[in-house]
Amino acid sequence: MRELTDGSTAIVRGALDAGCDFFAGYPITPASPILMMMMRELPRRGGMAIQGEDEIASIGMCIGATMSGARAMTATSGPGISLYSENIGLAIMGEVPLVIVDVQRMGPATGGATTTGQGDVQFVRWGTGGGYPIIALAPSSVPECYTLTMDAFDLAERFRCPVFLMTDKELNLTATTVEVDGWRAVPVRERPARAAGGDAPLPPYRYDPPADVPPLAHYGAGEVVRFTGSTHDERAFITKDRATVERLNRHLAAKIDDHGDEIERVTLDRQPGATTLWIAYGSTAGAMRAAAAAARATGRAVSTLTVQSLWPVPERAIREALAGIERVVVAELNHGQYRREVERVAAGRVAVSGLHRIDGELIAPEQFLEAAA
């Protein structure tokens, strides 16, 4: 059985099946369909969806809703991520589980509102003060939009942090035929309950061991909850004590960096005898897979690596994929943002080149075949 659908619909389905009960966003092409569908569907399930007065208010509402016990998501595009930046930093500091969908379009600035792009890859990683790690997933098909949306909610709960879902205009707005059996649900963990703290309330944060993640304290749950964007101790009191500040900052990094293998998501198609490896993500990976099938049909062996977890960089998987490889081609709709990460991991052991397109159109399978030749 098959159906005609698109990535926006798949993301909304994934969010609803993950238990999302709060959404706030502001209209922006090409993310607006997510807002419209969530405003239609969430009230039917007892949830709440709000069109904020702007992007800043929208992500702020999501942070407040999460701290009050909701499971929240927002969706925007590159210009909206610019406006989200300060509150993304607040969510990192406050350790707020939140899913942020970035439906990428061509930039910079207003750019091409109705043209596709993948130019926000480094932006979401480094776009807020402090440089602390984030988690970013990138679906490469409509079914993956569904699965990785659920995955994003689970990772947000697991690590108490904002998780980005990096899609693009083409994947979200283009209807395609999908096998109904292709929808793969992912279990989304429940938010852990905080144990009774005896006479003294439990602290809302915990820094030791650094990679540990404490349960989230909710407003109105029978205890005093403090929340601040400033450096703070485990009870959320602002502090400049150097030892405490260092423990806080090591924790914010270690809880993600030390669990890279758990977050890593890739699909490797290793072909016997192949010395060339193509790497892609998002909608570009679809063209890569079509080109690889065409190459095999003519007797040319090419291995492919589809990256579904952009951040943290899946270094272990990339190194394993490089075994026996002499040449790597990284395909993306930007000037080579992720190619830089692959070059860093490869460390000069293999030749890494880029296949880029920045005119608002997709990379075609024929361009992969030309690169292979």
Query: Are residues 39 and 162 both part of a single domain?
Result: yes
Query: Are residues 137 and 281 both part of a single domain?
Result: no
User: In percent, how much of the chain has pLDDT > 70?
Assistant: 97
The domain boundary, picked from 152, 182, 212, lies at: 182
Task: Write down the pLDDT at residue 361.
Answer: 94
* pLDDT, tens only, 7-23: 999 999 999 999 999 99
The domain boundary, picked from 120, 148, 182, lies at: 182
Task: Write down the pLDDT at residue 81.
Answer: 97
Within a domain: 215: no
What mean pLDDT do residues 220-236 have? 86
* pLDDT, tens only, 208-224: 999 999 899 888 776 67
- Examine the pLDDT at 199 and tell me if it is beyond 70: no
What mean pLDDT do residues 68-82 have? 97
Task: Write down the pLDDT at residue 303.
Answer: 97
- Examine the pLDDT at 357 and tell me if it is beyond 60: yes
- The pLDDT-based confidence of 356 (bands split at 50, 70, 90) is very high
The domain boundary, picked from 182, 200, 234, lies at: 182
CATH number at residue 39: 3.40.50.970
Task: Write down the pLDDT at residue 1.
Answer: 86
**Can you give the three-state secondary structure of the chain, one letter per residue?**
CEEEECHHHHHHHHHHHCCCCEEEECCCCCCHHHHHHHHHHCHHHCCEEEECCCHHHHHHHHHHHHHCCCCEEEEECHHHHHHHHHHHHHHHHHCCCEEEEEEEEECCCCCEEEEECCCCHHHHHHCCCCCCCCEEECCCCHHHHHHHHHHHHHHHHHHCCEEEEEEEHHHHHCCEEEEHHHCCCCCCCCCCCCCCCCCCCCCCCCCCCCCCCCCCCCCCCCCCCCCCCCCECCCCCECCCHHHHHHHHHHHHHHHHCCHHHHCCEEEECCCCCCEEEEECCHHHHHHHHHHHHHHHCCCCCEEEEECEEECCCHHHHHHHCCCCCEEEEEECCCCHHHHHHHHHHCCCCEEEEEECCCCCCCCHHHHHHHHC
Task: Write down the pLDDT at residue 24.
Answer: 98
Domain count, the chain: 2
Within a domain: 244: no
Query: Are residues 150 and 38 both part of a single domain?
Result: yes
- The pLDDT-based confidence of 327 (bands split at 50, 70, 90) is very high
Task: Write down the pLDDT at residue 200.
Answer: 61
- The range of the structural domain enclosing residue 330 comes to 266-372
Within a domain: 223: no
Within a domain: 226: no
Please give the model's pTM, rounded to 2 decimal places: 0.96
Within a domain: 207: no
Task: Write down the pLDDT at residue 203.
Answer: 84
Task: Write down the pLDDT at residue 197.
Answer: 53
Within a domain: 36: yes
Within a domain: 339: yes
Within a domain: 355: yes
